[in-house]
Amino acid sequence: MAQMQRNLGAEAIGTFVLVLGGCGSAVLAAGFEPGGIGLLGVSLAFGLTVLTMAFAVGHISGGHFNPAITLGLIAGGRFPAKDAAFYIVAQVVGAIAAAGVLYVIASGADGFDVNAGFAANGYDDHSPGGYSLAAAAVSEVVLTAVFLVVIMGSTSKRAPAGFAPIAIGLVLTLIHLVSIPVTNTSVNPARSTGPALFVGDWALEQLWLFWVAPIAGAIIGGTIYRFILEDPEDA
């Protein structure tokens, strides 16, 4: 029980930092003048939050920070299904807490309008680039599958020890570079849920996609790695 409590605490804290750092960079710093960090900066922020928290608390809980990753690792044979619900609740709680902190900070500036997006994910009129539901779904499924393949490959027994957080952080940066214009990049249902609760309206109406597509992609990626790429001796 004590170990599970530590695991859930690590997952909540890791997801909190991911959402605060990643979404915070998008809300507070992306368009700041002069010297806004833009798309590249936001992409790096998401990657760096995962990299740093994987090093900081990944040894405690496995460093999922993402319901899709938890379910993808079950499909990949790397995580027990009996613990999934607990992990997912902890991740969502961490994400909502981070969105709440970010809301308090952002609302301290004149002219702040949560309805302008608040780093929420969306498609059609709420896609940064005006991309369709189909485009958004394909993007989230494929990129989450890639994310799982990298996670499972970099944490396999034959991978260089100690470098997995670097590979995982870099691939998350790459994923954001590709898909911020499409959906604002989810690949993480908890990350999507936190901001959506504060935006409400359209963000909650479209939130279903950012649960369904990342989870589907994660299961596909975990299954591909488990049955096609994984060395039987590593299983």
Q: What is the pLDDT of residues 88-124, one digit of tens each?
A: 999 999 999 999 999 999 999 888 889 888 999 999 9
Q: What is the pLDDT of residues 168-199, one digit of tens each?
A: 999 999 999 999 999 999 999 999 999 999 99
Return mean pLDDT, the chain: 94
Q: What is the pLDDT of residues 15-48, one digit of tens each?
A: 999 999 999 999 999 877 787 889 999 999 999 9
Q: What is the pLDDT of residues 139-152, one digit of tens each?
A: 999 999 999 999 99
Whether residue 34 is preceded by a cis peptide bond, meaning omega within 30 degrees of 0, is yes
Residue ranges of E strands in 6-146: none
Q: What is the pLDDT of residue 162?
A: 87
Q: What is the pLDDT of residue 33?
A: 75
Domain ranges of the chain: 2-227
pLDDT band at residue 235, thresholds of 50, 70 and 90?
low
Q: What is the pLDDT of residue 80?
A: 95
- Please give the Cα distance from 137 to 123 (Å, whole number): 9
Structure tokens at 21: 């750092």
- Top CATH class, 2-227: mainly alpha
Q: What is the pLDDT of residue 208?
A: 98
Q: What is the pLDDT of residue 1?
A: 73
Closest CA to 132 of 142, 122, 141: 122
Q: What is the pLDDT of residue 233?
A: 67
Using CA atoms of 163, 222, 82, 46 in order, give the dihedral in degrees to the nearest 10: 50
Structure tokens at 99: 């969105």
pLDDT band at residue 219, thresholds of 50, 70 and 90?
very high
pLDDT band at residue 50, thresholds of 50, 70 and 90?
very high
- Asked if residue 46 lies in contact with residue 18, where contact means CB atoms within 8 angstroms, the answer is yes
User: Is the pLDDT assigned to residue 68 strictly greater than 80?
Assistant: yes
